[in-house]
Amino acid sequence: MALGMIILGRQGSGKGTQAARIAHRYGVVHISTGDMLRSAVAEGTEMGLEAKVLMDAGDLVPDDVINGIVDERLAKADVVDGGFLLDGYPRTPGQADALVGFVGERLQLALNLDVSVDVVTERMMARGREDDSPESIARRLQLYEAETAPLLSWAEDRGILTVIDGLGGENDVFARLSVVIDAI
């Protein structure tokens, strides 16, 4: 069975960077909902225009919109054959439920990249992406605690959770992640 994984962790924890490296090494498809939404914004689609307002404020795009995008992507042949690593999804209990409906037992591993609020705030202030204003950062971290942190117990209850220390150099963190993935 192709490998199915999700990567959890606060904004600025390094998820995107590590997810790209994991996809490269293990041959799974990296699916970043943030990147998909930014492409939709760049293309100026109707969905992109609606999403941009929410993204700039640090708010979440509604579950039904994001679930639709992910469902469509997961059904494509490259994902079915090669497996997947979802980055930035699921982010709410409603998305987690939807994901189980889409992939069921194909979801084998939830990696939680653990980095404190203080450290991720500093990192985001330094990287200066368009939606990295102090207000938007604060809002996203607040939503993370309220909506996404509960998914850690969800993943633990499914028996798929592994917590990885996200502090330190990129290569060190990648080595820690690789040990966990190699084990399954």
Phi and psi at residue 29, to the nearest 5°: -85, 125
Q: Output 3 or 55, the one with its CB closest to ligand ADP.
A: 55
**Least distance to ligand ADP, CB of residue 123, Å:** 10
| 6 to 45: interface string for ligand ADP, x by CB under 6 A | -----x---------------------xx--x--------
How would DSSP label each residue in 42-104?
HHT-HHHHHHHHHHHHTPPPPHHHHHHHHHHHHTSHHHHHH-EEEES---SHHHHHHHHHHHG
Q: Return the range that interacts with ligand ADP (CB under 6 A); candidates 19-27, 53-61, 77-85, 165-173.
A: 53-61
- Where in 120-149 is the site for ligand ADP (CB under 6 A)? 140
Name the nearest CA neighbour of 14 among 129, 123, 89, 91: 123
CB 112 within 8 A of CB 9: yes
List residues binding ligand ADP (CB under 6 A): 11, 33-34, 37, 54-55, 58-61, 66, 88-89, 91, 95, 140
